[in-house]
């Protein structure tokens, strides 16, 4: 199973979920659910994690969190291990309870928190577990919608403070969730790369700060985000470093030896990122798939034998910001 891509920073918002191993139930009775929520509160206090919303389903759960320290991995690992240990002890079993690693999705701001809380709270309704959300005990919905008693560790103020009328905030939230089925498409319109709930500006900020230039083969989410970088943008930046004009070899069938070297360096640069296929690179340069393979092979040979070209490529790669 591919690793989940983790970016951790102070003040990060996350939508977190995890499923039972082989999609089996993670609760056998209400005592397990009570234990789960107790451990969630312990995790919140121990790791300084703010919990905004939750729902406990039969074989999975959803959480809406904020980490006040860069520790989502440590806190959720502790949470999953602790719950599994107590669950196994109570139910006379051993082994894994959850299906691999937990999943986390980045959330941009308070507005998306509110929309995601509606989505999370509607889970029992979508699953056909109840006809009225008010009848489902194991979520934070009754606290938001009816002002039911709340555990100390649950933070409702961030979301409820967005209601226009503070006096009727619970009623307004209840109406928002009831009408949310008509609005649900909006949140998925802003779900990008299977990882982000937010605007393109938010994604760009994350990319510029937390992505390295090279993809990690074990992190498909990272590869997907990186791949969104426009190859023409990469070429233009590379041309500035190499002090050449891209049009000299993109629009001309005859090019000088120096331009041919610059072209092949750029071809190899795009190829070495792993972001683009040979066909995509070839379309950009007006070359066929096999021509790109040939140019890459030739450039590999030159890099291994010619120190000057090798230094030029290393200089290009080190100076170039690909994000």
The tens digit of pLDDT for each residue in 67-84 reads: 999 999 999 999 999 999
Phi, psi of 49 (to 5 degrees): -110, 130
Asked if the domains 12-210 and 230-319 are classified in one and the same CATH topology, the answer is no
Q: Comparing C-alpha atoms, which of 144, 129, 137 is closest to residue 177?
A: 144
Residue in this structure with the two tokens 């779900």, named with its chain if needed:
191
CA–CA dist 195, 199 (Å, integer): 12
**Residue 72: which of 61, 83, 63 has the closest Cα?**
63
Token pair for 116: 């995601």
How many Cβ atoms sit within 10 Å of the Cβ of residue 80? 18
Does domain 230-319 correspond to CATH entry 1.10.1750.10?
yes
Write down the residue that tokens 């050449």 correspond to: 244
What is the three-class DSSP state of 54?
A: strand
Residue 24: per-residue pLDDT: 94
How far from 173 is each of 103, 110, 131, 161, CA to CA, in Å? 27, 14, 18, 10
Give me the chain's average pLDDT, please.
Answer: 83
Q: What is the mean pLDDT of residues 271-279?
A: 73
Q: CATH says 12-210 is which class?
A: alpha beta
**What are the domain boundaries of the chain?**
12-210, 230-319
Could you tell me the pLDDT band of residue 34, with boundaries at 50, 70 and 90? very high
Q: Token digits for 138?
A: 């194991």
Q: Kindly give the residue spans of alpha helices, DSSP state H, lying in the chain.
A: 30-47, 72-91, 110-121, 123-126, 141-146, 157-160, 169-178, 184-189, 200-210, 220-227, 231-242, 247-250, 257-273, 278-285, 289-305, 307-319
Is a pLDDT exceeding 70 seen at residue 42? yes
Edge-to-edge order in the sheet of strand 191-192: 49-56, 60-67, 12-19, 103-107, 196-197, 191-192
Flag whether pLDDT at 197 surpasses 70: yes
| Sign of the dihedral defined by the CA atoms of residues 75, 78, 81, 84, in that order | negative
pLDDT interval class at 23 (50, 70, 90): confident
């Amino acid at each position: 199973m591919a690793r989940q891509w983790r970016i951790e920073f102070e003040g990060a918002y996350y939508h977190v979920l995890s499923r039972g191993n082989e999609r089996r139930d993670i609760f056998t009775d209400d005592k397990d659910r009570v234990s789960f929520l107790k451990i969630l509160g312990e995790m919140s206090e121990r790791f300084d994690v703010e919990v905004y919303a939750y729902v406990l389903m039969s074989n999975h759960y959803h959480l809406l969190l904020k980490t006040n320290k860069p520790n989502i991995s440590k806190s959720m690992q502790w949470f999953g291990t602790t719950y599994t240990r107590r669950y196994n002890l109570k139910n006379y079993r051993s082994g894994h309870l959850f299906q691999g690693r937990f999943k986390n999705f980045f959330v941009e701001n308070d507005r998306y928190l509110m929309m995601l809380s509606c989505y999370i709270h509607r889970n029992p309704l979508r699953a056909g577990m109840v006809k009225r959300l008010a009848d489902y005990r194991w979520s934070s919905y009754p606290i938001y919608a009816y002002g039911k008693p709340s555990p100390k560790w649950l933070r409702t103020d961030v979301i409820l403070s967005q209601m226009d009328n503070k006096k009727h905030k619970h009623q307004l939230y209840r109406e928002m969730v009831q009408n949310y089925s008509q609005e649900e498409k909006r949140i998925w319109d802003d779900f990008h790369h299977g990882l982000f709930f937010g605007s393109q500006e938010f994604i760009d900020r994350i990319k510029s700060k937390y992505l390295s230039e090279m993809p990690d083969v074990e992190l498909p989410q990272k590869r997907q985000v990186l791949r969104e970088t426009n190859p023409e943008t990469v070429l233009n930046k590379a041309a500035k470093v190499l002090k050449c004009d891209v049009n000299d070899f993109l629009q001309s069938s005859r090019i000088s030896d120096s331009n041919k070297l610059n072209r092949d360096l750029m071809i190899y640069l795009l190829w070495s990122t792993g972001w683009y296929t040979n066909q995509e690179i070839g379309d950009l340069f007006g070359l066929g798939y096999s021509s790109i393979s040939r140019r890459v092979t030739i450039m590999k040979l030159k890099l291994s034998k010619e120190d000057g070209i090798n230094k030029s490529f290393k200089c290009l790669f080190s100076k170039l910001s690909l994000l």
